[in-house]
């Protein structure tokens, strides 16, 4: 689930796989009246052949005898012992072999998002395994102060980004393979960026700003990476970064740098990580049926130069800030449906919505 088909989906068998009854009743041959010659249930194999004027009782899904011209539902049948009468047009209530999908037909193109319906369809067409593409993502969470369980001692901080990443990556159709927590320092980070692996995306959390423990740019320079996005004019989340590692065994591996502040990391995931993964998998960034712009009510602090990302609840056709959406906090995002994209010097126009993954 969640990945996309790496190849087109072909029908290994016809659907329906045999001529089948679409109703409970009687398989008949030609016009009535008919004489009854037994009963066939779904799943029963037989070699019955009907001649004009003959019928057999059938259950929905049963293979109808050769010679069947229609299925007469119980509701329309008049039965007297083994003699049957009723009106039924030729062809009614018989699903012919391959009429929905002939064997070998391509039913879905490569790149289709794998949903429950896709899995059911694939099974009905006799597939046991599917070729699935899910970008593999490795995460590196940096920070000497971080702990991953319990109540943090003075000076320590619970890692709040690691727990968000599997769901964020899955929302873009990817899979988080591993998450490494590393201490601050150029060497540890460079080693992680250079490490072998089959992941096409590396997410680095923290170390993205300009402080003494912010080594990401240095590590990327050391590895000769090409920095494609170096900061975005949005609040929170402005120190986010996108780079591509050059040459050698990690050729074309993409690095996404998320700020250490958890609210900023989530904002940066919505603006960089998810669009990247959606582009790689050909998925739409907004689920079908969701509005992408609406009116924004309530008090909003507008920034002079930067775009503000404001946690909002969405009520039908309008959004309302939920508050608590400072860069270091996830309280607003956890209570919100989406973030509203509020441009610099916003004057009250409709705003774009970035929906939070559920
Ligand atoms: N002089 C400047 N300082 C800062 C700027 C700036 O432009 N100039 N930008 C600020 C903004 S905005 C952000 S966001 C942060 C980004 O910082 P880093 O990505 O370098 O992250 P750290 O410095 O390591 O940590 C910042 C903050 O977040 C906490 N943190 C880090 N990782 C986690 C985690 N996984 N879970 C929970 N909390 C985490 C960390 O303890 C710090 O409190 O820089 C500002 N500074
Ligand atoms: O990314 Mo910082 O606001 O932008 O905390």
Q: Where exactly are the structural domains of the chain? A: 4-13+101-132, 20-95, 135-281, 293-355
Does ligand 2 come within 6 angstroms of the Cβ of 308?
Answer: no
DSSP 8-state assignment for residue 75: G
Task: Give residue 185's pLDDT band: very low, low, confident or very high (50, 70, 90).
Answer: confident
CB 177 within 8 A of CB 213: no
CATH 2.170.190.11 at 20-95, yes or no? yes
Does ligand 2 come within 6 angstroms of the Cβ of 262?
Answer: no
Read off the pLDDT of residues 94-142 as tens digits, 9 standing for 90 and up.
Answer: 999 999 999 999 999 999 999 999 999 999 999 999 999 999 999 999 9
pLDDT of residue 249: 57
Task: Give residue 251's pLDDT band: very low, low, confident or very high (50, 70, 90).
Answer: low
From 143, 217, 262, 268, mutation site for ligand 1 pocket: most ligand atoms within 8 A of C-beta = 143
In the chain, the percentage of residues whose pLDDT exceeds 90 is 82
From 147, 260, 268, 307, mutation site for ligand 1 pocket: most ligand atoms within 8 A of C-beta = 260
pLDDT of residue 247: 61
Residue 56 pLDDT more than 70?
yes
Read off the pLDDT of residues 204-248 as tens digits, 9 standing for 90 and up.
Answer: 998 877 766 678 988 898 888 999 999 999 999 999 999 999 765
From 205, 238, 258, 273, mutation site for ligand 2 pocket: most ligand atoms within 8 A of C-beta = 238
In the chain, the percentage of residues whose pLDDT exceeds 70 is 98
The correct CATH number of 135-281 out of 1.10.10.10, 3.40.630.30, 3.40.980.10, 3.30.1600.10 is 3.40.980.10
CB 159 within 8 A of CB 141: yes
Pairing of strands 307-315, 338-342: antiparallel
The correct CATH number of 293-355 out of 3.40.50, 2.40.340, 1.10.150, 1.20.120 is 2.40.340
pLDDT of residue 222: 86
CB 26 within 8 A of CB 58: yes
Which ligand number lies closest to the CA of residue 307? 2
pLDDT of residue 246: 77
Task: Give residue 42's pLDDT band: very low, low, confident or very high (50, 70, 90).
Answer: confident
**How is residue 55 written in tokens?**
């019928």
Q: Which residue did the predictor score with more confidence, 3 or 67?
A: 67
Does ligand 2 come within 6 angstroms of the Cβ of 172?
Answer: no
CATH code, residues 4-13+101-132: 3.90.105.10
pLDDT of residue 148: 94
Give the separation between CA 314 and CA 285, rounded to whole angstroms. 17
């Amino acid at each position: 689930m969640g990945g996309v088909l790496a190849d087109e989906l072909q029908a290994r068998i016809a659907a329906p796989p045999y001529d089948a009854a679409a109703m409970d009743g009687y398989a008949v041959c030609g016009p009535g009246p008919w004489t009854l010659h037994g009963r066939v249930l779904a799943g029963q194999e037989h070699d019955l052949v009907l001649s004009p004027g003959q019928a057999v009782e059938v259950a929905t899904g049963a293979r109808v005898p050769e010679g069947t011209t229609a299925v007469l539902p119980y509701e329309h049948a008049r039965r007297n012992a083994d003699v049957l009468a009723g009106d039924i047009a030729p062809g009614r209530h018989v699903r012919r072999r391959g009429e929905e999908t002939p064997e070998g037909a391509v039913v879905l193109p490569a790149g289709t998002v794998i949903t429950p319906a896709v899995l059911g369809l694939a099974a009905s067409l006799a597939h046991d395994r599917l070729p699935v593409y899910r970008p593999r993502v490795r995460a590196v969470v940096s920070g000497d102060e971080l702990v991953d369980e319990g109540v943090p001692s003075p000076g320590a901080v619970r890692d709040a980004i690691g727990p968000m990443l599997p769901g964020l990556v899955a929302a873009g159709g990817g899979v988080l393979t591993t998450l490494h927590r590393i201490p601050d320092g150029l060497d540890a980070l460079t080693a992680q960026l250079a490490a072998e692996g089959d992941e096409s995306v590396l997410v680095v959390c923290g170390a993205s700003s300009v402080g003494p423990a912010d080594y990401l740019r240095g590590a990327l320079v050391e590895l000769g990476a090409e920095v494609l996005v170096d900061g975005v004019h949005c609040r929170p989340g402005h120190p986010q970064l996108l780079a591509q590692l050059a040459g050698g065994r990690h050729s074309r591996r993409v690095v996404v740098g998320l700020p250490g502040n958890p609210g900023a990391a989530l904002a940066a995931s919505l603006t960089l990580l998810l669009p990247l993964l959606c582009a790689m998998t050909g998925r739409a960034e907004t689920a079908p049926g969701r509005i992408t712009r609406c009116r924004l009510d309530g008090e909003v602090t507008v920034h002079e130069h930067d775009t503000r990302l404001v946690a909002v609840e969405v009520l039908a056709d309008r959004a309302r800030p939920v508050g608590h959406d400072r860069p270091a906090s996830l309280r607003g995002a956890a209570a919100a449906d989406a973030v509203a994209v509020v441009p610099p010097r916003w004057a009250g126009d409709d705003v774009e919505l970035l929906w939070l993954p559920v």
